[in-house]
Structure 1
Amino acid sequence: MQWKLHWVRENWYVIVIIALAASGTGYWAYNNWGNSLIVCPGCNSPEVLNLDHYTIQNDTSQRPSLLTIWFAGNGPTGKSLMPQALYIENGPTKYPDCHWIPYNESSCLTPYNVTGVTIPAQAVVPITVDTSSSGFYFVAGQHYTIDVQTDKYYLGGFQVAYPPESLVQTGYTIGYDTGQANATVLNIWLANRGNASATLSAVTLQDSMSNSSPITFPMNGPTISKPGGWVEVTVDTLSSRFYFTHQHFYSLSIKASTGPPSISTISFS
C-alpha cells in the first residue's frame, strides 16, 4: 500500500516549527495533537501544554459561561508551567475593532485570570474560568480559539466548541489501496475531547470543490473510553466510488455516540 502523506504524528510530543520572527529571536511552534501554538519571542522552551479535554457548563443564571479545560503538561521531568490568564480570540475585546497580536494579547483581548494553578510535566490539570464576568456567553454551534498566558510565554490555538464535541480529527493521511490508481484510503487520528466515553458511529465526506453529495460511511467504533485519549481509524472509500482528487478540499464530519458532530476541512495535496 502506498501512502500520500499529509500530516504525520509520531506521538504526542511532535512539534513542528512553522514560523520564525525576522529578527531570529522569536519562536513559534505548532503541535497539532494538542492544537497548541507557542508564541515565545527570544526563547527556546522545552515545555508545552496540550488540550486534553474540556467542558462548558451553565452558571447560576443557567447560561453557558463556565469553561473548564484539562491541560496536559509536556516536557522534561521537573519542569512546569503556571497559567496566568486565558484569552478567547473570538470572544470579548477591550474596545471595538481592536486587532490583537500574539504575545501582546492583553492590550486587546479580555483576560480571564487564573491563580494558584501549576501544571507539571506529564500531569493533567484543570483550569476553570467564568466568562460571565465580562458578559460573554458561549453560543450553540460556534467554535472558539483559546490562548493561554503562562509565567514563561503564551500558548495559543486551542480549539473548543459549544456544545463540546466529543471526537475530533487531529490529523490524517490520504493514500492508495493496493493496486488502485485512485486515492481512497483515509487514515484519521481521533481524540476524545469530551468528559465521557465516546464511540465513533459515522464518517461523512463531501468534496467542497464539486457539486457532489456527501457520502456517509457508518462505523461501529472504535470507542475511546478515556477523556483525552486518541485512536487511529482507517476509512476506505473504494466501495462507494469516492475518490480523492489532488488539490481538492473536503468536508470531514465525525459523528460520535455523544455530542454534536465535529466538522473539519481536509485536503489532498
Structure 2
Amino acid sequence: MKPIISRIVEYFNGKKISEQYPKWEKSLSQLQKRIEYNFHDSTLLKAALTHKSYLRRKYNDHKIPSPFERMEFLGDSILGFVVSKELFGRHPDEQEGKLSKLKSKIVSETYLTLKANAIDLGKYILLSPEEHSSGGNNKPSILSDTMEAMICAIYLDSGIAAATRFIKNHILVEYETTVTRNELVNYKSILQEYMQSRNQTPPIYVTVAEEGPEHHKTFVVEARVDGKIIGIGKGNTKKTAHQEAARMACQKLGV
C-alpha cells in the first residue's frame, strides 16, 4: 500500500496545487472537523478533493492521469463492502432481496449527495473554472464521486477501521429514515404519471453522451417529450442519469 500512497503524494505535490491555493488548503481543517477525522497525511485528502476537471484544465491535457478517479474507484468498493457488512449485521432476519435494495439506495448517487451536503462537501472541492461556473460544486455526480474518493483517502491514511467509522458516522447515520424520504423517490414514475394525467405523450430518455473511463463512466441523458428536451441528467449508471433527468423535468414543470 505504501508505494501507492507515495505515488499519489508525489504526483499531487509535483503539481504544487497547495502553493497556488493556500486559502483552500487552510480551509481543509474545517472539513476535517466536520468529518471528525484528522489526516496523518493531508495530501491524501487534497488529492481526493481535486477533481479531474481542475487538473485537465490547469495543464491543458484531457488525458492527464487523475488520482481522484483511482481513489473514487477504490472508495466505491470500500463503501459497498462496509454497507453490506453493516446491513448483514443490523438486519439478521431480512432476506437477500430486501438487503440488496436497501444497499442500492444507500450507495446511490442521490443518497451520497444528501450526505455530502450534510458536511458541506461541495465548498471544498477544487474544480476547473468552467466546471465551477456551471455549478459543479452542487452536481450530484461530482458530490457522490468525491464522497467515495474521500472514503478511499481515509482508508489509505489509516485503514479499514477508520474508513468504517466514517461510513457509519456520516453515511449510515439515520439511513432507515433517509431512504424513505422524498429525496429518494422514483422521479421517472412521478413524471410518467404527471404526463398521463394530462393526456400528454410519455417522456422518452435518450443517452446523448458517455464520459470517463470504461470502469467508471458518466452517462448524460435527456428526457424528451415530442422531441423537446424537458430535462437533462448525469449519473454513473444510465438508471441514475434517467432519474436525474426526470427530476430536472419535474422541477421545470413544477411537479
TM-score (ref. length: structure 2): 0.27
TM-score (ref. length: structure 1): 0.26
- Considering fraction of residues, name the structure with more strand: 1
- Considering fraction of residues, name the structure with more helix: 2
